[in-house]
A and B are shown apart, each in its own frame.
Chain A
Amino acid sequence: MEGPPSGGPGTHMSIEVRNLTKSFGSFAALRDVSFTVHSGELVALLGPSGSGKTTLLRVIAGLEAPDTGSVLFDGDDATKRDPRERGVGFVFQHYALFRHMSVFENVAFGLRVRPRDQRPSEDEITRRVHELLGLVQLDYLGDRYPSQLSGGQRQRVALARALAVEPRVLLLDEPFGALDAKVRQELRRWLRRLHQEIHLTSVFVTHDQEEALELANRVVVMNEGRIEQDAPPGEVIEKPATPFVSNFLGNVNLFHGRVEVEVHDDEGRPMPMELDGDRSEAVRVIVGDRVYVRPRGQIGT
């Protein structure tokens, strides 16, 4: 895998959202929402549909103007800033790839539309696009058109395109919503690895608690335009702040214990297990019939 596509640490941004409200006609999408995303964090906005999470993400990106309240990037008020000047990478729910452009051109778009004096040379663009396509493991598909790709491939192209402009914040709207379960698992793991590598401040919207708990450093649970709880995944499960939170995460069962389990693969062979951090105590989260094992140290803080 290539080096980080965006600049080193320190170029990443913190996001602060203060008292945002937004209505569409008589429907209140956001009601006095405030929270902060620290530089380098991976935060999940979790909630049922209609809870305002996508609106919140779009307000941060500048695609929607709030009725009241403000959005701050690194402490600077960016509420009125045009989306093109916000330095955000946005991955749309249905990818919104440019259908008449090849994969290569999709990824190159953000570089090509720069003002002439900031635009990289053609060679540089080619190099950067190949680097990004390599990062998402799609370098061999550069000549294809979006309609010729699978959902998972489109998702990765969308990601590469968003990263091409070296955003200081990555915003993802239901990034895995339209994919089948297996691809979703893979991409999720991949996104987590990517985030560990480049530490880009990231916010993603999801209605899938499993996804939020597995990926995020912090989970912001939303309902009816309000934030119900803003806490690390472990805390959301262990100490739901409101009845809504415990209800929404209802099918998550919690076990404490030592990891002495032996995990077997499909053919009954024991599989090696690795746990970072404190090995003696772990939290097992069971969602439906799936088991996640995580060291307590990681999830609790």
Chain B
Amino acid sequence: MAGVAVGAVGRPRRLTEPAGVRYLLTGIALGFLALFLVLPLAVVFVEALRNGLGPYFESIQDPDAMAALRLTLIAAAFAVPANLVFGVAAGWAIAKFRFPGRTLLTTLIDLPFAVSPVISGMVFVLLFGRNGFLGPWAADLDLRIVFAVPGIVLATMFVSFPFVAREVIPVMEATGTQEEEAARVLGASGFQTFFRVTLPNIKWGVLYGAILCNARAMGEFGAVSVVSGKIRGETNTLPLHVEILYNEYMFQAAFAVASLLTLLAVVTLIVKTVLERKLAR
């Protein structure tokens, strides 16, 4: 009896690895993290602060840098909400319904992942550029899309589109449609069903999708680089601005602006953590 009880209470020996293996695995994981995550991050800040705090803030407060920051935030502010709506809608359609063209839609959602960002940018130039398909229409309306803010927003939305949908579809498929059906029979409207039943079930998928979408939107280089035209103070986003500074051998300024981008990422992670706490019941 006693022997059985002890065996059941204590963790069975054979289910844990030997101490050496455990330390080795932990060491490898931590070492990898240090080398590939912490070190580069540290380098950004070390290089940014190489000449002290004064030059650091000077580089950040440079009007062109501030304009780039503003544009990056604008692009993300459009791309994230829009892709939240599109992503959840597309996920809902794909996961909850069977309709002709469903497989095609599933494939199309991945398109922005599949094509090179440069091509994604080119698409908009070819579409809205002066000789583009919709170029004359845009010119008639006096709309400047390519080499202007709307083009950058469009390109950012395009490349960050799949994140929310990709996160939400598996969750929706796993939860199935029964809870929605139950809500319907209990008298809930479509609206109530969505906000009271569907959304709470997919909230984690939506949150992670939004985080990834935001990270991509703020960090996108390739597609934005093509549509931007790189007009300083006007159509440069933070990543583009970093590249320009770097190419001009202004390393300290480049790293200072890069640190700004890094801080944005940190803020995103903090927001995520706060939301996680709030959403956890």
Chain A interface (Cβ within 8 Å of chain B)?
61-63, 82-84, 86, 88-90, 92, 94, 96-101, 109-110, 113-114, 161-162, 164-165
Given contacts A63-B181, A96-B181, A113-B196, contact A165 B186 (CB under 8 A): yes
Contacts of A100 in B (CB 8 A): 200-201, 281
A164 to B185, alpha carbons, bound, how many Å? Answer: 12
> What is the minimal beta-carbon distance from B187 to any residue of chain A, in angstroms?
5
> What is the minimal beta-carbon distance from A110 to any residue of chain B, in angstroms?
4
Contacts of A96 in B (CB 8 A): 178-179, 181-182
Identify B185's interface contact among A83, A97, A98, CB under 8 A: A83
A89 to B187, alpha carbons, bound, how many Å? Answer: 10
> A63 and B187: CB pair below 8 A?
no
Identify A161's interface contact among B184, B186, B281, CB under 8 A: B186
Contacts of A165 in B (CB 8 A): 186-187
A114 to B187, alpha carbons, bound, how many Å? Answer: 7
The number of chain B residues with a CB under 8 A from chain A is: 18
Q: Which of B183-207 contact A (CB under 8 A)?
A: 183-189, 192, 196-197, 200-201
> What is the minimal beta-carbon distance from A167 to any residue of chain B, in angstroms?
9
> B185 and A113: CB pair below 8 A?
no
A29 to B182, alpha carbons, bound, how many Å? Answer: 22
> A83 and B184: CB pair below 8 A?
yes
A92 to B192, alpha carbons, bound, how many Å? Answer: 20
Most chain-B Cβ atoms within 10 A of its Cβ — which of A88, A89, A90, A98?
A: A98
> A92 and B184: CB pair below 8 A?
no
> What is the minimal beta-carbon distance from A173 to any residue of chain B, in angstroms?
10
Given contacts A99-B201, A100-B201, A113-B196, contact A84 B184 (CB under 8 A): yes
Can you list 6 pairs linking A and B with CB atoms under 8 Å apart?
A61-B185, A84-B186, A86-B185, A96-B178, A99-B201, A100-B200
A96 to B193, alpha carbons, bound, how many Å? Answer: 13
Contacts of B188 in A (CB 8 A): 84, 109, 113
Residue of A nearest to B181 (CB): A63
> B196 and A63: CB pair below 8 A?
no
**Chain B contact residues, majority secondary structure:** helix
A100 to B183, alpha carbons, bound, how many Å? Answer: 13
Q: Which of B97-118 contact A (CB under 8 A)?
A: none
A266 to B179, alpha carbons, bound, how many Å? Answer: 43
Residue of A nearest to B192 (CB): A113
> What is the minimal beta-carbon distance from A130 to any residue of chain B, in angstroms?
18
Q: Mark B68-81, 1 if CB is under 8 A from A, else 0.
A: 00000000000000
Contacts of A110 in B (CB 8 A): 186-187
Contacts of A101 in B (CB 8 A): 200
Q: Which of B250-281 contact A (CB under 8 A)?
A: 281
> B197 and A98: CB pair below 8 A?
yes
Identify B183's interface contact among A61, A62, A113, CB under 8 A: A113
Contacts of B189 in A (CB 8 A): 84, 113
> B179 and A63: CB pair below 8 A?
no
Contacts of B179 in A (CB 8 A): 96-99
A110 to B192, alpha carbons, bound, how many Å? Answer: 11
Contacts of B201 in A (CB 8 A): 99-100
Contacts of A86 in B (CB 8 A): 185
Contacts of A83 in B (CB 8 A): 181, 184-185
A101 to B183, alpha carbons, bound, how many Å? Answer: 12
Contacts of B181 in A (CB 8 A): 63, 83, 90, 92, 96
